[in-house]
């Protein structure tokens, strides 16, 4: 799926391209395989979650009609209780925007007097999501921003019945395209509200409702110019709806494919190996891309191997475990293959090492250089090392503050480098382990 627009823009990843290609083949769950085709001009593809015990599905819905929302670039303030108050507030800020994944959460169906309730609901959902590994261990790579989207009426359309219509800031509505649990939003309004935050990599919309429902929009199905990976919607009052957000981040950050399948869909139609980390054509676990995990007892309850079915197809394609969060919301865990892809995705867009000392300007020999490590825990295992002109200074390992002089630098033109490496056991692929490294370099004047 496309990554951030702006300084850290990346093209659609191979995993995302493969996922979209498969998704384009999917129609209604009770029909046979459809012709490969993108959604029609005035429709978009979303992921639909019929209920906590049911597997998700891909459905096509009409493009929304833009609702009233602030224009991008306007002041970052909007009416709150009493007509004043900040439109954007940090719920969690662990580092600079340039070095973090920025998650923007906004509520819909909350009036001006209910913005504190929205903040409490949002925090509850996020705590639940960040209770799942690897989000729990790598929460320190995220900034979280709350955006006040003030609605005229409390609640959202389609709750409790299809003929209940509410005037809300983001146009949230159950019974989207006739599907009761499909919770659609006006993605144009969402995009403009998200632009109020300092940055947005992923957006969550928390709808003011106790009714179960949600949806997932991938970046290609958002309005042109949307700078974030994807949008997930979920109801505020249902205790299981947070799993929708956790699943959608699997797509947008980890590039993971869906592991579920549709009855009646036969063999996987392509002879090409899927790029997504959690699908393979190989039946033999020793040949699968996750061969380093083969035989491992997985946190989802099964042994890592090759289980037939996934990517919406029943045969010819294999997934790593019997179930996982990418297959069913009944399984609130990523398998080890998914965890590895997620951690790699975190490091593709966030840095575990930052410093307030600019690297663009030379530093004096006695200038104190202080670095900061992201506050990671659990699965993460950060190791900090220092180098002078490419040679490691062993005794300085782990030091958060030092000077070029203390590192033995005499004279000018030398290069000081701080490097942090995550030696987590959750990364077994050498290529991914190599990516879990961040460095900063200063030149001594």
Q: What is the pLDDT of residues 102-133, one digit of tens each?
A: 999 999 999 999 999 999 999 999 999 999 99
Examine the fold and report which residue of 204, 231, 252 is the final residue of a domain before the chain moves on.
252
Residue 25 maps to a domain = no
Examine the fold and report which residue of 187, 218, 252 is the final residue of a domain before the chain moves on.
252
Measured distance CA(117)–CA(113) in Å, rounded: 8
Task: Give CA 9 to chain center in angstroms.
Answer: 15
Q: What are the pLDDT tens digits along the chain (445 aa)?
A: 322 223 333 333 333 333 333 232 222 233 333 323 344 555 666 776 666 666 676 667 666 543 344 443 333 333 333 344 458 999 999 999 999 999 999 999 999 999 999 999 999 999 999 999 999 999 999 999 999 999 999 999 999 999 999 999 999 999 988 899 999 999 889 999 999 999 999 999 999 999 988 888 876 666 666 777 889 999 998 888 899 999 999 998 999 999 999 888 899 999 999 999 999 999 999 999 999 999 999 999 999 999 999 999 999 999 999 999 999 989 999 999 999 999 999 999 999 999 999 999 999 999 999 999 999 999 999 999 999 999 999 999 999 999 999 999 988 889 999 999 999 999 999 999 999 999 999 999 8
Residues in contact with 73: Cβ distance below 8 Å, sequence separation at least 6, in sequence order? 195
What is the number of domains present in the chain? 2
Residues in contact with 424: Cβ distance below 8 Å, sequence separation at least 6, in sequence order? 137, 343, 379, 380, 381, 436
- Encoded tokens for 240: 């299981």
Pairing of strands 307-310, 57-62: unpaired
Examine the fold and report which residue of 229, 252, 275 is the final residue of a domain before the chain moves on.
252
Same domain flag for 247 and 356: no
Measured distance CA(275)–CA(287) in Å, rounded: 14
**CATH number of the domain bearing residue 66:** 3.40.390.10
Residue 362 maps to a domain = yes
CB 89 within 8 A of CB 146: yes
Residue 166 maps to a domain = yes
Residue 263 maps to a domain = no
Measured distance CA(256)–CA(320) in Å, rounded: 12
The residue segments making up the domain with residue 67 are 39-252
CB 112 within 8 A of CB 82: yes
Measured distance CA(392)–CA(185) in Å, rounded: 53
CB 208 within 8 A of CB 233: no
pTM: 0.83
Pairing of strands 307-310, 214-218: unpaired
């Amino acid at each position: 799926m496309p990554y951030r627009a702006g300084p850290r823009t990346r093209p659609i990843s191979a995993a995302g391209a493969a996922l979209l290609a498969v998704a384009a083949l999917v129609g209604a769950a009770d029909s046979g395989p459809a012709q490969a085709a993108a959604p029609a001009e005035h429709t978009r593809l979303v992921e639909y979650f019929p209920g906590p015990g049911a597997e998700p599905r891909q459905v096509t819905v009409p493009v929304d009609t833009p609702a009233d929302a602030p224009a991008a670039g306007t002041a970052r303030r909007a009416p709150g209780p009493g007509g004043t108050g900040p439109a954007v507030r940090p719920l969690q800020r662990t580092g600079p925007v340039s070095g973090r994944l920025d998650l923007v959460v906004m509520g819909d169906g909350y009036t001006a007097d209910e913005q504190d309730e929205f903040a409490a609901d949002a925090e509850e959902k996020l705590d639940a999501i960040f209770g799942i590994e690897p989000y729990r261990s790598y929460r320190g790579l995220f900034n979280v921003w709350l955006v006040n989207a003030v609605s005229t009426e409390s609640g959202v359309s389609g709750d409790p019945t299809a003929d209940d219509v509410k005037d809300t800031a983001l146009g949230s509505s159950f019974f989207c395209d006739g599907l009761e649990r499909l919770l659609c939003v006006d993605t144009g309004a969402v995009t403009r509200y998200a632009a109020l935050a300092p940055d947005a990599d992923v957006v969550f919309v928390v709808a003011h409702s106790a009714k179960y429902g949600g949806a997932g929009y991938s970046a290609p199905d958002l309005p042109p110019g949307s700078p974030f990976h994807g949008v997930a919607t979920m109801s505020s009052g249902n205790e299981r709806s947070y799993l929708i957000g956790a699943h959608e981040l699997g797509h947008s950050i980890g590039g993971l494919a869906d592991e579920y399948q549709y009855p009646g869909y036969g063999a996987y139609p392509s002879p090409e190996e899927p790029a997504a980390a959690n699908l393979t054509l190989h039946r033999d676990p020793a040949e699968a891309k996750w061969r380093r995990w083969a035989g491992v007892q997985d946190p989802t309850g099964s042994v890592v191997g090759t289980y037939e079915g996934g990517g919406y197809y029943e045969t010819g394609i294999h997934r790593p475990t019997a179930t996982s969060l990418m297959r069913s919301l009944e399984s609130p865990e990523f398998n080890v293959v998914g965890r590895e892809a997620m951690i790699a995705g975190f490091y593709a867009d966030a840095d575990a090492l930052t410093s307030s000392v600019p690297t663009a300007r030379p530093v004096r020999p006695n200038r104190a250089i202080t670095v900061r490590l992201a506050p990671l825990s659990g699965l993460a295992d950060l190791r900090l090392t220092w180098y002078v002109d490419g040679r490691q200074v062993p005794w300085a390992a782990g030091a958060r503050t030092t000077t070029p002089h203390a590192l033995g630098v005499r004279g000018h033109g030398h290069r000081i480098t701080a490097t942090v490496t995550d030696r987590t056991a959750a990364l077994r692929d050498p290529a991914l382990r190599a990516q879990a490294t961040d460095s900063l370099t200063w030149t001594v004047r």
